[in-house]
């Protein structure tokens, strides 16, 4: 007897696309994620009408950076007291603190926000960066249309919309860079170069590019980073760099005092500190894990920039970096989409263990934000997902290619419904 979409039913230990139980699970997840999405959108609307400056999470900080850099000397961003006074003048609550830890090249990305009011700037920022993120993920997956809705209602997407932060942009740059590494090496390098606005998220990129021998991509990335540095120097003066470097120790001290933020950090060190490990030992453990992950990435990319290598890079990034927050997790949803898409194309099923790990990966960012949930699970989820990818029988998969959205949709319809749907010869 055949199940939905002609798939033969299997036991609960094996899951295959098209089976009834798989459809039931997907529908249940869609309902849960959709409900969470609507609840967060309602929260944002209520917050905007109550206190507009708190409506869009951390976005006020990004907007204020652009406003201040466009009105005052950009070095003001790196002076805590001056920056705080400027932000309060823009409407921030005096009790709030939003320092600027980004390198000077990041100012260029936030500067255009000065041309918009707070509300308009938020919708422009989210609209543009979310579009880039969807483009990056959809272009990497063969079943292009089918992945759009899951991406839009995924918990990481909901949390990023609520926070108003830069997770869509960093995710788009990292996913897009990996996606185009072989087919468009210069474009890929440009994307990686722009990612230096959050350098801690690109820590594995040089390892991957050198291991794969993608020298043109690496050269383009370095050239882009240097160009951004030169533009920021010309725009804001030589003094912007000493101001940034001089601020970093003070920022690190301020951040280390904020223990409440640990539960929102999906990093090894943060998880260990939540378990009571002393900060110095947690830092050493972070370094050890980062070296191990870098070795896995090196070995994987030595075989070429395959889909499994891309998945490992996306997941491993949050294991390597010492500084990341829950709004940086959209790249993980991209890794999940790539993993599932590749397995479906291979007409292979999933084990119950793999399904469980993927569910944990999908939901742990949301769990991290729940009040009263103080269990550090992000490192466990990331390590398990890396193990699943490495152990997958389809680990040595084809290279990540640039995929055309319309062609992917057309070929998917053709494969599912027959030759009469072919639109072109």
User: Concatenated DSSP letters for 298-313?
Assistant: HHHHHT-SBHHHHHHH
Nearest to 185 by CA among 354, 36, 361, 400: 400
pLDDT for the residue 139: 78
* Domain membership flag for residue 382: yes
- What separation in angstroms does the CA of 414 have from each of 9, 19, 194? 24, 20, 38
- The structural domain count of the chain equals 1
* Domain membership flag for residue 37: no
Residue partners of 81: CB distance under 8 A and separation at least 6: none
* Domain membership flag for residue 25: no
* Domain membership flag for residue 357: yes
pLDDT for the residue 411: 52
Which pair of structure tokens corresponds to residue 261?
A: 């933020």
Q: What is the pLDDT of residues 375-398, one digit of tens each?
A: 999 999 999 999 999 988 755 555
pLDDT for the residue 397: 54
How far is 178 from 207, CA to CA, in rounded Å?
13
How far is 67 from 53, CA to CA, in rounded Å?
14
**What does the pLDDT profile of the chain (425 residues) look like in tens digits?**
445 444 455 567 777 777 888 889 989 999 999 999 999 999 888 877 777 666 667 899 999 999 999 999 999 999 999 999 999 999 888 888 899 999 999 999 999 999 999 989 999 999 999 999 999 998 766 555 667 888 999 999 999 999 999 999 999 999 999 989 988 999 999 999 999 999 999 999 999 999 999 999 999 999 999 999 999 999 999 999 999 999 999 888 888 777 788 999 999 999 999 999 999 999 999 999 999 999 999 999 998 888 899 999 999 999 999 999 999 999 999 999 999 888 888 888 888 999 999 999 999 999 999 988 989 999 999 999 999 999 887 555 555 554 444 444 445 444 444 433 333 33
pLDDT for the residue 416: 44
pLDDT for the residue 255: 82
How far is 3 from 13, CA to CA, in rounded Å?
16
Cβ pair 81, 103 in contact under 8 A: no
pLDDT for the residue 406: 41
- Tell me which residue range forms the domain holding 185: 108-229+260-409
How far is 77 from 9, CA to CA, in rounded Å?
59
Q: Which residues pair with 350 in a beta bridge?
A: 15
* Domain membership flag for residue 146: yes
Nearest to 390 by CA among 293, 325, 245, 265: 293
* Domain membership flag for residue 247: no
* Domain membership flag for residue 16: no
Radius of gyration of the chain (CA): 22
pLDDT for the residue 17: 76
Nearest to 179 by CA among 167, 166, 192, 169: 192
Which pair of structure tokens corresponds to residue 132?
A: 């880039």
Q: What is the pLDDT of residues 222-264, one digit of tens each?
A: 999 999 999 999 999 999 999 999 999 988 888 877 778 899 9
* Domain membership flag for residue 392: yes
């Amino acid at each position: 007897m055949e199940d939905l979409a002609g798939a033969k039913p299997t036991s609960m230990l094996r899951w295959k696309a098209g089976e009834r139980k798989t459809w039931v699970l997907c529908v249940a997840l869609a309902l849960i994620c959709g409900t969470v999405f609507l609840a967060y959108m309602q929260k944002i609307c209520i917050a905007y009408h109550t206190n507009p400056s708190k409506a869009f999470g951390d976005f006020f900080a990004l907007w204020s950076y652009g406003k201040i850099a466009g009105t005052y000397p950009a070095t003001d961003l790196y002076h805590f007291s001056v920056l705080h006074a400027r932000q309060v003048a823009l409407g921030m609550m005096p009790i709030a603190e939003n320092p600027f830890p980004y390198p000077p090249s990041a100012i260029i990305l936030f500067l255009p926000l000065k041309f918009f009011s707070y509300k308009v700037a938020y919708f422009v920022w989210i609209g543009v960066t979310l579009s880039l993120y969807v483009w990056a993920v959809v272009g990497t997956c063969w079943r292009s249309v089918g992945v759009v809705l899951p991406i839009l209602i995924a918990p990481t997407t909901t949390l990023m919309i609520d926070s108003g932060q830069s997770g869509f942009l960093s995710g788009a740059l990292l996913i897009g860079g990996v996606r185009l590494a072989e087919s468009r090496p210069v474009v890929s390098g440009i994307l990686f170069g722009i990612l230096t606005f959050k350098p801690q998220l690109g820590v594995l990129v040089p390892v991957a590019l050198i291991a794969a021998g993608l020298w043109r991509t690496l050269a383009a990335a370095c050239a882009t980073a240097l160009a951004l540095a030169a533009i920021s120097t010309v725009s804001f003066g030589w003094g912007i760099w000493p101001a940034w470097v001089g601020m970093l120790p003070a920022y690190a001290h301020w951040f280390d005092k904020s223990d409440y933020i640990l539960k929102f950090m999906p990093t090894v060190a943060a998880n260990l500190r939540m378990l009571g490990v002393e900060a110095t030992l947690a830092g050493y453990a972070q370094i050890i894990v980062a070296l191990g992950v870098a070795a896995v990435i090196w070995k994987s990319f030595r075989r070429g920039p395959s889909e499994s290598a891309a998945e490992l890079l996306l997941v491993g990034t949050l294991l390597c970096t010492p500084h990341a927050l829950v709004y940086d997790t959209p790249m993980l949803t991209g890794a999940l989409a790539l993993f599932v898409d590749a397995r479906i194309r291979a007409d292979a099923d999933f084990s119950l263990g793999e399904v469980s790990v993927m569910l944990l990966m999908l939901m742990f960012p949301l769990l991290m934000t729940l009040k009263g949930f103080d269990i550090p699970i992000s490192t466990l989820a990331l390590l398990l997902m890396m193990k699943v990818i490495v152990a997958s029988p389809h680990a040595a998969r084809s290279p990540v290619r640039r995929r055309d959205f319309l062609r992917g949709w057309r070929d998917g319809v053709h494969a599912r419904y027959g030759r009469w749907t072919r639109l072109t010869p």
